[in-house]
Amino acid sequence: MKKIGSMLTAAAMLAAAFNAMPFAVMADEGGYTMNVTVDLGGEIKSISPYIYGINEYGKQSEYGKVTTHSVRQGGNRMTAYNWENNASNAGSDWKYSSDDNLSSSDRPADVAQAFSKDGEKYGFDYKLTTLQLAGYVAADKDGPVTEAEAAPSSRWNEVQLVKGAEFADEPDLTDGKVYMDEYVNYLVKTLGDSTTSTGMQAYSLDNEPCLWHNTHSRIHPEPVGMDELSSKSIEMAAAIKKIDPNAEVFGPALYGYTAYDHLADDESSNEWETIKAQGNYHWYIDYYLDRMKKAEEETGTRLLDVLDIHYYSESCRVGDEDRLQSVRTLYEKGFVENSWIGQWCQENIPILPTVQASIDKYYPGTKLAISEYNFGGENTTATIAQAEALGCFADAEVYFASIWSGNSYQYAGINLYTNYDGKGGHFGDTLVPTKTDDVAQASSYAAINGSDKGTVTAMLTNKSFSDSENAVISLENSDAGYEAAAVYAVYGDSDEIRLIDIINDVSGNKVNVTLPALSAAMVVITDDASDFDGLQIYDPDAFREESFVYTEFKLNENGYVDVPVTDPEHLSKVIITADVTSKMGSSWGNAGCAVSINAIDNEGTKFWTSEGYSLNLGSGSTATVEFDGTFSNDGVPVEAVVADGKLEFQKWWDASEKQDSGDEIDVKYTKIEVVYKYDNSTPTTDPTTEPTSSPSGTLKGDANCDGIIDIADATKVLQSIGNHDKYPLSAEGEANADVVEPKGITALDALEIQKYDAKVIDKF
């Protein structure tokens, strides 16, 4: 394995320092001017605290990394989840496998009970779980289900929405049936109803039903019918309201734009065209709302509290530049995104106002949820899109939103709103009208808390890849006299939220802020400058990074690629690059991968854990996995480090358009960069201190025997390790280079020499 290690080059260090400069330094660097107007006398809107949510599936280890109070338990796995024995089926996502992916426990409803326990631990005020409507759920945990074993068969239990008999204290595992109202009753009996902190506040009427015939063809091979879905929704909702009247019902969890328009109907059935003509409906959403409203009129009970849609941006798939504009499709009339939606679907753009118009016409009072969404990205463009999306959700008065499969940059966008200072500082709960000169360059949303105008929080982005943004924030129609502003931002190549400026010269209720290129910021403006006493502006020289790059790989004894970890305590991230191909020639697909780790906690307990990532089809596909000193031990974050000196890169599953045909996604790693982060506040070596001598009397650490110890010696060591024949060390050089245990030249020696050169240590 070829190992090339080095500290950051001087040029890279200068670039990083420039990107990390405080605003006060960057204010005179040019850029463009942006006027931001905050109208504190305009029409206000209450902001739902539940728009800052996440999805649970596969992300339990992230609970401590993102500040949220609302979480959804859903996704494809929940469609065939059997609450009686906790079996579930992956559908086309993974070989139609029925297994213990969600829970290995035999305790009834263990998945929901574990969800409740996490809610108590992490303070989830609002928990949304999923009920099963597709017709069958997994009967066992015995692995892949073949086409010959499609339902009805012994591999499945039949779902009945209403039992029609007295509920049992414990479910009957022998009757071949699973009752959904009995499930709701069991949760209420076990956890409490929706008014309690441990109960479920809401229930989703399954997940993405218009894709059942694709994702779960073993249980629902035909496209879901419009009458079928409405009838099941009405029956299930009525049962929920009877058992837990205060619980909110979400439906129908539409997967995206096509589903909004015509559900799963294809042209051959003409079902939608017939229904559309009969009811004079604009799109499918109208019909669903109308059916639920008429059912309420018949029963006297509201059956749909929240219209639930999913939204995955199409234009963000094109690249970073399109991602920066992608949120505009949701809110801006006349905007044309770079995708098939922009080309063919302009009649329904902007999307959220069009959805709201359907609600207002067919079922007034229904709230709006976006329980799955993602705008993509593995860099600061993801933070910017996420920040703009949350502002858009607030402005559109979305009730609930939960990102699916978020990453650290997207979580930074959420934390800007929910915990920008790491101490609970958050965006206000009341939105005030805000605008910029040009949303293509910069978006902004502002809020206050209640009616108190003394503190204004303003989210502001800079979408330019190259230019800083000189923003003038004008606070209009307020009697408050604003004195100071603090600027918390995400920018450069880091997902950290940093306090990068405190502005004390605010006058005339105008705040001058400079944002670096590609950044998202929360600007906190106060009428009392003492609010910021004691705060420390981010120091770009406080930390430095060192990286090792690996470009040639062999499979280890487990059949996987691995790379060494030379300094577990300071491991910061790995940046993964690979060529990803499809065996069957799919045009889209991805590989679900994980960095597998043997970790050890502060008490010396070893455990196995992993950090997931996904790689999409294409040459040079990238992913970044961050490390913050905590790892998930059986779902519980604990402080730990890598125990055995390596990271192992595994592929766990494939997904592609031709998955049913046995398509396999091949991952060939081309580069893995391991990055270590060091605190420069650590006392450094006195420059006059001499290192320990080697046995031969020359300088310990002087691998190239030139009389000095510097980065060239570390490079010489690594070159020799990678190709000893081409880059041999002299006997004296080998003796000098062997500075740490174990005996023999390893990458640990190179790292120690780098530390000495950087004055992190003063001797070997």
| DSSP one-letter string for 419-475 | -TTSSS----SEEE-EEES-TTT--EEEEEETTEEEEEEEEEEE--SS--EEEEEEE
CATH of the domain at 370: 3.20.20.80
Return all residues near 166 (Cβ < 8 A) that are at least 6 apart.
none
Strand 45-46 relative to strand 430-432, pairing: antiparallel
DSSP track, 652-697: EEEEETTGGGT--EEEEEEEEEEEEEEETTS----TTPPPPBPTTS
Q: Token digits for 25?
A: 């330094």
Terminal C-alpha separation, the chain: 27
**Is 364 contained in some domain?**
yes
Strand 306-312 relative to strand 248-254, pairing: parallel
The pTM (predicted TM-score) of the whole model is: 0.77
Distance (Å, whole) CA 452 – CA 424: 18
Distance (Å, whole) CA 158 – CA 145: 16
The answer to whether 410 and 490 are in contact (CB under 8 A) is: no
| Residue 739 pLDDT class (50, 70, 90 cuts) | confident
Other CB atoms within 10 Å distance of the CB of residue 232: 23
Judged against a pLDDT cut of 60, whether residue 4 lies above it is answered with: no
The answer to whether 27 and 514 are in contact (CB under 8 A) is: yes
CATH of the domain at 557: 2.60.120
**Is 378 contained in some domain?**
yes
Convert the pLDDT of each residue in 413-463 to its tens digit. 999 999 999 999 999 999 999 999 999 999 999 999 999 999 999 999 999
Alpha helix segments (H runs only) across 211-350: 212-215, 226-243, 257-262, 271-279, 284-299, 320-326, 328-331, 340-344
Task: State the pLDDT at residue 267.
Answer: 59
Distance (Å, whole) CA 521 – CA 420: 9
Task: State the pLDDT at residue 116.
Answer: 96
Judged against a pLDDT cut of 50, whether residue 27 lies above it is answered with: no
Q: Are residues 710 and 597 in the same domain?
A: no
Q: Are residues 225 and 334 in the same domain?
A: yes
**Catalytic residue from among 56, 84, 208, 337:** 208
Quick one: 78 exposed, middle or buried, by C-beta within 10 A (0-12, 13-18, 19+)? buried
| Residue 661 pLDDT class (50, 70, 90 cuts) | confident
**Is 143 contained in some domain?**
yes
Q: Are residues 581 and 441 in the same domain?
A: no
Q: Are residues 731 and 631 in the same domain?
A: no
Lowest mean pLDDT among 14-23, 127-136, 189-198: 14-23
Task: State the pLDDT at residue 268.
Answer: 57
The answer to whether 330 and 311 are in contact (CB under 8 A) is: yes
| Residue 681 pLDDT class (50, 70, 90 cuts) | low
Quick one: 511 exposed, middle or buried, by C-beta within 10 A (0-12, 13-18, 19+)? buried
Q: Are residues 638 and 510 in the same domain?
A: no
| Eight-class DSSP state of 396 | T
Say which residue the tokens 């996704």 belong to: 75
Q: Are residues 241 and 101 in the same domain?
A: yes
What's the domain count of the chain? 4
Q: Are residues 654 and 511 in the same domain?
A: no
**In angstroms, what CA-CA distances link 714 with 6, 444, 561, 563?**
7, 47, 24, 18
**Is 1 contained in some domain?**
no
Listing from the earlier edge strand, what are the strands of the sheet with 519-526?
45-46, 430-432, 444-449, 452-462, 519-526, 484-491, 498-503
Q: Are residues 595 and 516 in the same domain?
A: no
Lowest mean pLDDT among 21-25, 439-443, 557-561, 716-720: 21-25
Lowest mean pLDDT among 107-111, 607-611, 633-637: 633-637
**Is 211 contained in some domain?**
yes
Residues 461-487: what's their mean pLDDT? Answer: 96
Q: Are residues 340 and 297 in the same domain?
A: yes
> Does the annotation count 476 as an active-site position?
no
Other CB atoms within 10 Å distance of the CB of residue 56: 25
The answer to whether 461 and 442 are in contact (CB under 8 A) is: yes
**Is 29 contained in some domain?**
yes
The answer to whether 652 and 593 are in contact (CB under 8 A) is: yes
Higher-scoring residue by pLDDT: 369, 662? 369
Say which residue the tokens 């320990």 belong to: 692
The domain in which residue 458 lies consists of: 21-46+427-539
Q: Are residues 334 and 351 in the same domain?
A: yes
Task: State the pLDDT at residue 521.
Answer: 98
DSSP track, 82-110: -TTT--EE-GGGTTTEEESSS----STTH
Domain boundary among 491, 522, 539: 539
Domain boundary among 503, 521, 539: 539
Q: At CA 97, angle to CA 91 and CA 102, rounded to 5?
A: 90
Residues 493-503: what's their mean pLDDT? Answer: 94
**Is 276 contained in some domain?**
yes
Residues 689-707: what's their mean pLDDT? Answer: 63
Alpha helix segments (H runs only) across 314-429: 320-326, 328-331, 340-344, 351-362, 380-395, 408-418
Say which residue the tokens 């996502």 belong to: 93
Judged against a pLDDT cut of 90, whether residue 727 lies above it is answered with: no
Task: State the pLDDT at residue 22.
Answer: 35
Residues 624-640: what's their mean pLDDT? Answer: 86
Convert the pLDDT of each residue in 399-421 to its tens digit. 999 999 888 899 999 999 999 99
Q: Are residues 616 and 651 in the same domain?
A: yes
**Is 8 contained in some domain?**
no
Distance (Å, whole) CA 416 – CA 401: 16
The answer to whether 673 and 575 are in contact (CB under 8 A) is: yes
Domain boundary among 482, 513, 539: 539
Q: Are residues 642 and 508 in the same domain?
A: no
DSSP track, 712-755: HHHHHHHHHHH-TTTSPPPHHHHHHH--SSSSS--HHHHHHHHH
- Which among 3, 1, 112 is positioned nearest to 547, based on CA atoms? 3
DSSP track, 50-87: GGSEEE-TT-GGGTTTS--SEEE--SHHHHT--TTT--
CATH of the domain at 511: 2.60.40.1180
